[in-house]
A = this chain, B = another copy of it.
């Protein structure tokens, strides 16, 4: 993981929010660009490291293991390695990880609703999203 300075306001705030706000607690565990996507992939069953890489082509290996390690440390995914050579490692959701299903589902429902209810806004957002050509 990335090193973290012990005495910075940002860390203090993070800690406070982490302790007091359950939503932040969840964010810390499933936040970031890749974690939700990885978790989503694992919702459909256990996968090998290389399978994950293939099903998420845009992710770099660094990001992939980094987040897998983090998810493992947070007891959301389980790593199982067969002691063979060519290595064979599978990742799956733990019980706690499975428990996130309703949370992810609630989020997905809201997202679809929200992007439908104001489809115009949604499209505008996408248009104004940095790095998107205006009329492709």
> Could you list which residues of chain A lie within 8 angstroms of chain B, going by C-beta atoms?
4-8, 10-19, 21-27, 29-31, 33-34, 36-37, 40, 58, 75, 96, 99-100, 102-104, 106-108, 110-115, 117-118, 121, 126, 129-132
Q: Is the CB of A23 within 8 A of B104?
A: yes
Copy number in this complex?
2
Q: Is the CB of B131 within 8 A of A7?
A: yes
Q: Is the interface of A mostly helix, strand, loop or mixed?
A: helix
CB A7 to nearest CB in B, in angstroms, measures: 6
Q: Which of B7, B23, B36 contacts A23 (CB 8 A)?
A: B36
Q: Which of B4, B5, B40 contacts A21 (CB 8 A)?
A: B40
CB A112 to nearest CB in B, in angstroms, measures: 6
- Report the Cα distance A13→B126, complex, angstroms: 13
Residue numbers in B under 8 Å from A110 (CB-CB): 26, 99-100, 102-103
CB A76 to nearest CB in B, in angstroms, measures: 9
Residue numbers in B under 8 Å from A23 (CB-CB): 30, 36-37, 40, 104, 107-108, 111
